[in-house]
Amino acid sequence: MVVPVYDGVDLLDVAGPVEVFTVADRLVGGGRYEVVLAAAVPGRVRTFGGVLLVADRSLADLPSQVDTLLVPGGAEIAAAGRVVPVVDAAVVAAIRSLAAGARRVASVCTGAHILAAAGVLDGRRATTHWATAARLQADHPAVAVDADPVFVRDGEVWTSAGLSSGVDLALALVAEDCGDDVARAVARWLVVYLRRPGGQSQYSAVLARETAAPGPVRDLQRWIVEHLAEDLSVPALAARLSMSVRHFSRVFVRETGCTPAEYVAEVRWEAARRHLEQGEQPLPVVARVCGYGSVDSLQRAFRARGTTPARHRAQFATTDPSTRSTAPAEELTHA
């Protein structure tokens, strides 16, 4: 397995998947994975965070055929928080050559921009970090960019979303190579969630919203998350902040970018989604604890997103059916 590295590469993009493959190799007795860090010029590489990696091979000196080519991402934070992917020309040229002889090719986070620049993603569906998905599509119109999934597989080309999703991708690759039991053992060893399915959304619906500046509205946002079964109508929320409904609604929109009703709806759906994925509570229980009041209301919320609670649970459950529990979403799976 070859992992190209370059100045500005994100350390987690490299270390997360490498750790998965290293643990898997140990668990199967060795000989399954040999990870090689390679760079345009062998030697020290400075990561985005400043930590140094050492590449002991040159990309130009690698054999023409490799088993797995895993391209990590790197990005710079520009003015106004704009994320600019690092696309090194020397790395792109090497990837173009190596990908042609690889059994499979994968990328983590903004590594998809490197694969796209090398022509590997043309005519394929792919994902990347949500913050750079629009740029990937604009720069490479031949790529079908899907900004939502944790990872995407199109034939023998895999792409994953931002940063920690590289672990999910690596676990999926291990499952393909060594079976689900080994992938579960690796997840348990690393104390991470048992693989998130690739089609699961890569970021929380709540995180997609702006968080208010420190103050009453931010405190209210946190309170809402912790009290979903209570009255979260706009009049009730306005009363908590001792504001008129009109003034409260105006302040909330200004500070968060959405209306109070929109925020409550997304928080409730996010909570329901996590309950369905992490446990086996009956739908009436999920509806009650998430503040829907009835199963019909819960059903309507999911139908508005093109699915149903039962279908979502079947598709995105993150624990082995034999070991599912009703543990809170914050707890780690022990499957």
Contact 287, 298 (CB under 8 A): yes
The DSSP code sequence of 178-201 is H-HHHHHHHHHHHT--S---TTSB
C-beta atoms surrounding 306 within 10 Å: 7
For residue 227, the number of C-alpha atoms closer than 13 Å in the C-beta half-sphere is: 13
Catalytic member of 109, 178, 258, 290: 109
Read off the DSSP letter of residue 74: B
Of 193, 220, 212, the C-alpha closest to 274 is: 193
Tokens linked to 254? 């200004």
Active-site residue flag, 178: no
How does DSSP classify residue 205?
T
How far is 102 from 107, CA to CA, in rounded Å? 13
Q: How many CB atoms lie within 10 A of CB 293?
A: 11
Burial class (CB in 10 A: 0-12, 13-18, 19+), 20: buried
Catalytic residues: 109
